[in-house]
Amino acid sequence: MVALPFEQWVDGLASALLLWETRARRSNRFRLRANSKSIKLFRLNDSVEELVFTTDPRRPEAVPANLLQQTRYSTVEIVVPAAAIIERRLDPLPAESLPFIENVVLHQIESIFPWRASDILHSTKTGKRDDGMLDVSVQATSSPAIQAELALAKACDASEVLITTENHTRDGRGQILAPIGSYKEDKLARARLISRAAIVALLVASVTVVGWTAYTRWSLSSDIAALDQAIADRRALIQRSIEAGASSQKRGPEAKKRLTPAAVVILDKLSSILPDGTYLTDLTLDGGRIRITGISSNAVELVPLLEKSGQFKNATFYAPTTRLAESNSDRFSIEATLASQDSQTP
């Protein structure tokens, strides 16, 4: 189930790479013309033919080394008479048979052309009909009839060999791609290897990013849960202190002051001043001066809030405010002086 889509991705990316390479590097084009006495090789410059090599088809000469450097990896057209390429149409086929069209053609090829299957060079074109069926046309020619030309094209080390007529059309009619040489196959194999490695690397990177994101989210959730628990514990402590103070209300202010620790009273004041989204992680009381450390979604507003409360004065940051990774909160450190001594330890 997974292998088929993966290979389709690989094939698609490999085709795109080959197309990009073809457009990026324009290959040289040559044309072969033959008769009973000679085979002539022409270089094509904007459809203008320039004769570069001639040989006897009965005693072919080797391609010169300097010319071979130009013909290697090039496209060679072998020109044949129009009657040498025959076109036949198969019966319409269902659209589901598209991946198997070539097997269908090979199965019927000897019955629709006057040559043996091993002697046939062919190309297949498909088109979709309005009724959803497929039109299939096959063009073919006899390879023994152009054996000398094919041998010379192979000796040129061409990457692509086309069997064409003089008046072949842009849609590919009158033109057959010959399976000559292994360079194109090597390029396709290399492109598939690169594509497979790129897709695997992309999948691994995606899994890594998703895993790291999930871990970071879990870690932040754990930190927030711990802070919430600490806040709940301190609020419970404050509540117990308030209840203890209420039960001893009849003992007078002095007794209440002795039963309620100064730090708890200050923490109660801070809890009423500090906005939602602000959590304290540390509180230090030294005489009439306090230091608080914590996390807030808007730390810059805390100093004005403390000053405006009337409970504290000279509030200031005594350490730099830092942004927490993977969060919109800041870690802050503030010190201030108690506005009155009523909350200090007796």
In single-letter form, the type of residue at position 79 comes to V
CA dist., res. 208 & res. 97, Å (int): 40
Task: Return the pLDDT at 41.
Answer: 95
* 104 assigned to some structural domain: no
* 268 assigned to some structural domain: yes
Say whether pTM exceeds 0.85: no
Name the residue range of residue 51's domain.
Answer: 3-86+140-181
Task: Return the pLDDT at 93.
Answer: 93
For residue 233, what are the β-bridge partners?
none
**139: exposed, middle or buried (C-beta count within 10 Å: 0-12, 13-18, 19+)?**
buried
CB 330 within 8 A of CB 296: yes
Would you write out the chain's pLDDT as a tens digit for each of its 346 residues?
556 676 766 677 766 765 666 555 556 899 999 988 999 999 998 878 999 999 998 888 889 999 998 898 888 999 999 899 999 999 999 989 888 998 999 999 999 999 999 999 999 999 999 998 999 999 999 999 999 999 999 899 888 888 998 876 555 566 787 776 545 556 667 777 888 788 888 888 988 999 988 888 888 888 888 888 888 888 888 888 887 766 655 555 554 454 445 677 888 888 888 888 888 888 888 878 899 999 888 888 888 888 888 888 888 998 888 888 777 888 899 999 988 654 444 4
Say which CATH number the domain at 71 has.
3.30.420
In single-letter form, the type of residue at position 2 comes to V
- Regarding whether 308 and 177 lie in a shared domain, the answer is no
Task: Return the pLDDT at 185.
Answer: 59
Q: In what order do the strands lie in the sheet with 86-89?
A: 86-89, 134-142, 120-128
For residue 78, what are the β-bridge partners?
32, 163
Task: Return the pLDDT at 193.
Answer: 81
- Regarding whether 167 and 261 lie in a shared domain, the answer is no
Task: Return the pLDDT at 256.
Answer: 46
pLDDT in tens, 294-317: 988 888 888 888 888 888 888 899
CB 276 within 8 A of CB 294: no
* 262 assigned to some structural domain: yes
Structural domains of the chain, count: 2
- Regarding whether 327 and 231 lie in a shared domain, the answer is yes
* 118 assigned to some structural domain: no
Q: Is 279 helix (H, G, I), strand (E, B) or coil?
A: strand
**257: exposed, middle or buried (C-beta count within 10 Å: 0-12, 13-18, 19+)?**
middle
